[in-house]
């Protein structure tokens, strides 16, 4: 039923910290602060990577985690969901203003591309802005997808 009067809309996010998520880290993985983090098909966290279409966007790490000598699950990553700026791809995968609102895909833990490369890249999130303030970055809403 549509609204018939104004209401206070519940919000998940900064007001109640529900934009922070945790997951076990995959074996032999290092996640840098500022890295885009995905969950692999086992549910383990790792930096976003190319050519793995089954990975699911999770968030962005706010600090570094080094599990290069550890087993899967030896460490737990904490990520934040939100809108973050990533480097833009080049050539045929360049993201432009016309792509605001479109889903883009991970090239790596710091770069997004316009296409899935024939379903070989995992979705990063939805483009919110391009080149905000002349910084050349693509701002993407990243969250558990």
Q: Where are the domains of the chain?
A: 20-80, 82-142
pLDDT at 141: 93
Strand partners, 140: 84, 127
Helix residue spans in 20-136 (DSSP H):
none
Contacts of 64 (CB under 8 A, 6+ apart): 30, 31, 32, 33
Q: For the whole model, what pTM was predicted?
A: 0.86
pLDDT at 19: 83
Q: Of 30, 36, 29, 23, whose CA–CA distance to 124 is shortest?
A: 36
Q: What is the distance in angstroms between the CA of the first residue and the CA of the last residue of the chain?
A: 27
Q: Which pair of tokens denotes residue 55?
A: 């990975």
Per the CB < 8 A criterion, the answer to whether 136 and 117 are in contact is: no
Q: Which pair of tokens denotes residue 113?
A: 């591309």
Cβ burial, residue 34 (10 Å; 0-12/13-18/19+): middle
Can you give the pLDDT of all 145 residues of the chain as single tens digits?
666 776 665 544 455 556 889 999 999 999 999 999 999 999 999 999 988 999 999 999 999 999 999 999 999 999 999 889 999 999 889 999 999 999 999 999 999 999 999 999 999 999 999 988 788 999 999 988 6
Give CA torsion, residues 107, 108, 112, 117, to 10 deg: 10
How does DSSP classify residue 99?
A: G
Give dist(CA 41, CA 22) in Å, integer. Answer: 16
């Amino acid at each position: 039923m549509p609204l018939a009067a104004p209401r206070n809309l519940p919000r998940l996010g900064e007001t109640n910290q529900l934009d922070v998520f945790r997951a076990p880290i995959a074996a032999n993985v290092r996640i840098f602060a500022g890295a885009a983090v995905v969950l692999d098909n086992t549910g383990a966290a790792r930096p976003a990577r190319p050519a793995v279409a089954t990975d699911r966007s999770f968030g962005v790490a706010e600090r570094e985690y080094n599990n290069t000598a550890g087993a899967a699950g030896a460490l737990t990553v904490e990520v934040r969901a939100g809108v973050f700026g990533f480097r833009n791809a080049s050539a045929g995968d360049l993201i432009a203003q016309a792509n605001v609102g479109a889903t883009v895909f991970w090239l790596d833990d710091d770069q997004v591309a316009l296409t899935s490369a024939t379903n070989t890249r995992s979705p990063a999130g939805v483009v919110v802005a391009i080149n905000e303030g002349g910084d050349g970055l693509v701002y993407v809403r990243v969250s558990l997808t």
